[in-house]
A = this chain, B = another copy of it.
Amino acid sequence: MTTPRYLQIFGLAEIPEIRPGDDLPTLILEACRRGQVMLQPSDILIVAQKIVSKAEGRLVDLNTIAPSAFAQALAENMSKDPRFIEVVLRESRRIVRGDARVLITETHHGFICANAGVDQSNVPQANSVSLLPVDPDASAARLRERIRAMAGIDTAVIVADTFGRPWREGLVNVALGVAGITPLRDFRGLADGHGRSLKATVIAVADELCSAAELVMGKDAHQPVAVVRGFVYEKSEGGSQSLLRPPHRDLFR
Of A1-9, A57-65, A67-75, A143-151, the one contacting chain B is A1-9
Residue A114 interfacial (CB < 8 Å): yes
A160-185: CB near B (< 8 Å → 1, else 0) gives: 00100111111111100000000110
Copies of this chain, complex-wide, total: 2
Residue A209 interfacial (CB < 8 Å): yes
The answer to whether B168 and A204 touch across the interface, beta carbons within 8 angstroms, is yes
A220 to chain B, nearest CB (A): 5
A173 to B207, CA, bound (A): 10
The answer to whether A207 and B168 touch across the interface, beta carbons within 8 angstroms, is yes
The answer to whether A211 and B216 touch across the interface, beta carbons within 8 angstroms, is no
Residue A152 interfacial (CB < 8 Å): no
The answer to whether B204 and A166 touch across the interface, beta carbons within 8 angstroms, is no
Chain B residues whose CB sits within 8 angstroms of the CB of A250 once the complex forms: 166-167
The answer to whether B9 and A212 touch across the interface, beta carbons within 8 angstroms, is yes
The answer to whether B212 and A215 touch across the interface, beta carbons within 8 angstroms, is yes
The answer to whether B121 and A199 touch across the interface, beta carbons within 8 angstroms, is yes
Kindly identify which residue among B193, B200, B252 contacts A167, using a CB–CB cutoff of 8 Å.
B252
The answer to whether B166 and A252 touch across the interface, beta carbons within 8 angstroms, is yes
Kindly identify which residue among B120, B173, B193 contacts A17, using a CB–CB cutoff of 8 Å.
B193
A204-241: CB near B (< 8 Å → 1, else 0) gives: 11011101101111111111000000010000000000
The answer to whether B6 and A9 touch across the interface, beta carbons within 8 angstroms, is yes
The answer to whether B13 and A200 touch across the interface, beta carbons within 8 angstroms, is no
Chain B residues whose CB sits within 8 angstroms of the CB of A243 once the complex forms: 168-170
Residue of B nearest to A205 (CB): B215
Chain B residues whose CB sits within 8 angstroms of the CB of A221 once the complex forms: 2-3
Residue A26 interfacial (CB < 8 Å): no
